[in-house]
Structure 1
């Protein structure tokens, strides 16, 4: 095979035409057992949702499930018990991308930022994410978000600070890309209605747009994934075969090209049905009870 054809294959991804369901499951297990870069982590148990208080015990139990397979864990919040996750992850030899959840609740934002600073000062944050899709949700203005980012950088000058949002936000907002030490780009072909056959090259294009916006800065895919159950979104169809194909292509590319990916997600979360519809509950590699799905 020539270099040119190898490069084309890398862009298109694995040839799945002759692969059975068992083949896909075996490929998934080989990649997972070999270790993946990182996972977006949730410790919520069935019946819990944002606002529920997480116990140290449930965090430890959930970390223990994913620990053998990952190097990094990404958190979303620094309140209601989530601020305990980074220290527990560190105890288990994992690196941490620690997030503060920002919204239009300014009082809650203060709690999140203050706890985030404490996590950094305790030495438990390798990367810091100030906010997650708060611009996409239109809960803060860009100016307000930049203020929070600047504040964290001043209070924790040792931290590598960024913000998490869809890749195009960094393309469309140069001041935001400039304010970040690291670009945290969410890349979801599924939510842009992409057919699974084209999803791999589509996701790569998202990544390279963020890379261009960062002008040489480190870019991490902070979220990407594919659900296995639920209602189709345009040409994006959630089923087991497509979820496995997407995982396999993403992880092989991550490994071969050294792309840092925080795969979404660790566990299925029933509460997300209220936010994303039926598909929202089925993004995990493990089900809601902590059992590996594939």
Structure 2
């Protein structure tokens, strides 16, 4: 995971990222990677959407000079009819030397499609501009899955959410087959799909045995895109070529967002993995997983995947409280949908959750009550399509390192504060 920003039922950005233990070469880690952009009082847009001057909260996506998203937040947007003199947006007084971001006066709005955003000229040293979209124009949070070559059904246990799982003990060592089975015994009945991230620690084989026993499906992952062939080979052996138990295979996790791979490298690895998996007998979906920030900037990551797989973490938006987590997720998904070449493509949120311990991030406060509220909000938002969301994470990840940049919460995202039996 990686920090993100957004507000209530609207959308915001700051990177999110996930990974795993250093010696295992992956580490679900959240890290703030951009300085905050100063929030203004109002943005003015001239157009024909309203006949009278109208103020509404809207999602504002700040982008750099190359049109890459930097941050998204909720701003008050003043719609002014074209026939009315442009309203002068008020900017907060500041003692800093930087000017507040302001849109170009009289920017026009194209309301013909949710994917049309007005552009504005930057006035700050950061050389940033903004885009925005209205939640009223957004698509449904998710829909049936389709791809250019085949339609993939929703995950098994369509009424159940998925959950992320890591096969590492608190000391960083690999869990044994018995320890993985003990974990599955605690979580299996509550989740349809169990998401893994790699092939190390013999995790495919141990998770396969546990999933087979307890009736789950597996969302498998090739974390190292420089070793795709080895990953597919290990995966095939681990599931004993019993591909019916595999719901999805992911290629990489937040690599574009994290700077671990370029878009072209990720797409190349996706193509290679899909070809090798088809040859091995797997005919299900193969996807790239990245943060919503990366996907908004590079929707081809989703366009080329068999469905759109994206990590969305409301906790990293300092303007979003726990009870707004579900709205944060669905608004983010709606914004992603507007960027896709196929607006009906299935979108699966492959990580989302809330920590139960750590430091506050503005309105985002860790705690058991807060986690309960956030998870309830997310589950309510996905009540009709539960299989399109994977919660983060099954157990507390004590092998991770607490860091100030992630609000000292990195270890404490376990559902209900639960520890794996081997860490108790």
| Shorter-chain TM-score range | 0.7 to 0.9
**Shift of residue 284 of structure 1?**
0.4
What pairs up with 1:84-95 in 2 under 5 angstroms?
84=205, 85-95=207-217
Aligned to 2:175: 54
C-alpha distance in structure 2 between counterparts of 1:61 and 1:154, whole Å? 35
In the alignment, structure 1 residue 241 sits paired with structure 2 residue 369: yes
Aligned to 1:15: none
Aligned length: 253
Normalized against structure 1, the TM-score is what?
Answer: 0.77
**1:15-37 CA distances to partner (integer Å, 9 max, x unpaired)?**
xxxxxxxxxxxxxxxxxxxx742
Task: State the 4+ residue runs in structure 1 displaced beyond 6 angstroms.
Answer: none
Normalized against structure 2, the TM-score is what?
Answer: 0.55
What pairs up with 1:263-282 in 2 under 5 angstroms?
263-274=391-402, 276=406, 278-282=408-412
In the alignment, structure 1 residue 99 sits paired with structure 2 residue 218: no
Aligned to 2:338: 212
C-alpha distance in structure 2 between counterparts of 1:131 and 1:245, whole Å? 30
**1:102-145 CA distances to partner (integer Å, 9 max, x unpaired)?**
36xx35x5533432354574313221111111112111111111
**Structure having the larger proportion of residues in helix:** 1
C-alpha distance in structure 2 between counterparts of 1:78 and 1:213, whole Å? 32
In the alignment, structure 1 residue 176 sits paired with structure 2 residue 301: yes
Preserved contact between residue 382 and residue 389 of structure 2 (Cα < 8 Å):
yes
| RMSD of aligned alpha carbons | 2.5
Equivalent position SS for 2:401: helix
In the alignment, structure 1 residue 160 sits paired with structure 2 residue 281: no
Match of 2:166 among 42, 60, 67: 42
C-alpha distance in structure 1 between counterparts of 2:299 and 2:324, whole Å? 28
Unaligned runs of 5+ residues in structure 2 are 1-8, 11-158
**1:151-191 CA distances to partner (integer Å, 9 max, x unpaired)?**
11111231311111112322221322221001111111111
Aligned to 1:71: 192
Match of 1:201 among 312, 324, 327: 327
Unaligned runs of 5+ residues in structure 1 are 1-10, 13-34
Q: Structure 1 pair 112/232, CA: closer, same or farther in 2 (3 Å)?
A: farther
**Shift of residue 290 of structure 1?**
4.1
In the alignment, structure 1 residue 111 sits paired with structure 2 residue 230: yes
C-alpha distance in structure 1 between counterparts of 2:163 and 2:388, whole Å? 11
